[in-house]
Amino acid sequence: MKIYINGKFYPKDEAKVSVFDHGYLYGDGIYETLRAYDGMVFKAEEHIARLFRSAKAMELKLPLDDNGIYKAVNDSMRENDLTDAYIRISVSRGPGEIGLDPELCPEPTFVIIAKEFIDYPPELYAKGVKVAVVQTRRNHPEALDPAIKATNFLNNIFAKMEAKRAGAYEGIMLNHAGYVAEGTICNVFIVKGGRLITPPLIAGILEGVTRDLVIKLAKGLGITVFEELFTEEQMRQADEAFITNTTMEVMPVTQVDEKTVGSGLPGEITRRLARAYREEVGRCLRAR
């Protein structure tokens, strides 16, 4: 494996950043996760645009423009001889003296990790997964803007540890007001009475690229979509539920805590959207 760091490729064992990097010292950085299908980086434009929005929000100047980032991503795939790939772009404030002042870091550290994508076990999609509503709350949006995809993940790590203790695949975090916000690495959807519902951005969530695509696909299928607040009990009582992110796509949820969701199997709307997602990937592949 070769890792891209600031314009050069290094073997995995030689890919290193400074212990004085503020990403390491303070979690001062941003990232994006992308997925490539048969050599095509899916929704690359949307992910790179969000990276720039995150950078602007934290006053971090990226060392490459959007075309440069796209080229570096594709170069990373080529260097590693990949077609189906997991890709992570990480940008930290860079190395500098110890202290919180961003001006201590003259240049950011820009890293791309590209590795072979390993498919999720098929039984997860066939049977669905268990999620647990955790006690760890999502960061208050007035404390940390959820629109920033930050490398500071301690909030989510605490939630993940809770979920693992509960024997769950994923942890679902509530916001400061007690409404469902998002998972540790995903957006959340439920279906009730034929209505597809997902928390609105004002719930304090990241605007997921996959979330946006699922909403668009649902509308194209004539499925009514509502971005509205809902409680953990409403999630337990849903007819269907699923979670989304770039790598897992549309993952069915068939158990919330100890409560079975719907019939206990992935529901019709969930299955339709999972198929529509893969069809969209296929359409983009054909349009290359």
CA–CA separation, 263 vs 275, rounded Å? 20
Gap between the Cα atoms of 46 and 260, Å rounded: 35
Tokens of 53: 């929005």
Examine the residue annotation and report whether 149 is marked as an active-site residue of this protein.
Answer: yes
Assign 150 to helix, strand or coil.
strand
Whole-Å CA distances, 51 to 10, 147, 173, 207, 241: 23, 10, 23, 12, 28
Q: How far apart are CA 217 and CA 25, in angstroms?
A: 41
State the burial class of residue 227 (Cβ atoms within 10 Å of its Cβ: 0-12, 13-18, 19+).
middle
- The H or E element spanning position 220 is helix 209-220
User: What's the token pair of residue 47?
Assistant: 């992910």
Both tokens of 266, joined, read 């992935």
Tokens 């870091």 identify what position? 105
Of 2, 43, 130, 149, the active-site residue reads: 149
Residues present in the chain in total: 288
Residues known to be catalytic: 149
